[in-house]
Amino acid sequence: MQRSTLVGLKVGLIALLIFVAMIGMSTNSPATEWLKEAFHGISFAFAFGLGAPEALAYVLGGVVFVAIFCAGYFVGKKASSKLDG
């Protein structure tokens, strides 16, 4: 595996962890529950704010998490490839 791919994966995971921590810290729950709270919070925002059905809100919540990971991955991969050459 290329070095830029590994850096991209690490940056994507860090971006996702920071996002979960930012949302999770706003609730009064232990750190072990932050991921669940973040997912339910995003899903609630779609369901209540946009009026989406419950199943669609959960799918959109998952899409948000995947999009944050992908954005971090591409930023990390691009930055690493720029620094290499």
Confidence of residue 16 (pLDDT cuts 50, 70, 90): very high
Q: What number is the average pLDDT over the span 33-52?
A: 94
Task: State residue 27's pLDDT score.
Answer: 82
As a whole number of angstroms, the distance between CA 3 and CA 83 comes to 11
When the pLDDT of each residue in the chain is averaged and rounded to a whole number, the result is: 93
CA-to-CA dists, residue 41 to 15, 62, 83, angstroms: 18, 12, 37
What are the pLDDT digits (tens) for 58-78?
999 999 999 999 999 999 999
Confidence of residue 45 (pLDDT cuts 50, 70, 90): very high
- Of residues 82, 65, 58, 60, the one with CA closest to residue 7: 82
Answer whether residue 12 shows pLDDT above 90: yes
As a whole number of angstroms, the distance between CA 59 and CA 71 comes to 18
